Amino acid sequence: MNYLNESLEHIPARDLFKKIKQEKLIIIDIREPHELLESSIPSAVNIPMYSLLKNINSLLRKDKTYYILCHTGQRSYYVTKVLLDFGYKAINVFGGIALMPEYYHD
């Protein structure tokens, strides 16, 4: 799937890692809780994909920008697209946490 050709905004995982050090971001990790055991970003909020999609209006605000993260970037692409369709500001983390070894647990 070549989803970089879409009109939605992306940030490569490595760039997100650098940006986290420079500013406070709202990162939503849409992976399931058991996936967080492998790796996680301490400042990210975990809202599994289906919970987020089911409760968008009660969980998010339209005046905030959300960075959507998953393992490889495929689920986050889909969720980012849905959020944009509903009028939210969202940025897909391309490549996901799989490309951010800084967050892998030993």
Q: Is 83 a catalytic residue?
A: no
Given 70, 83, 90, 100, which residue is catalytic?
A: 70
Encoding tokens for residue 38? 């492998």
- Residue by residue, DSSP assigns 40-90 as --TT-EE--HHHHHHTHHHH--TTSEEEEE-SSSHHHHHHHHHHHHTT-EE
**Chain center to CA of 32:** 13
Residues noted as catalytic: 70
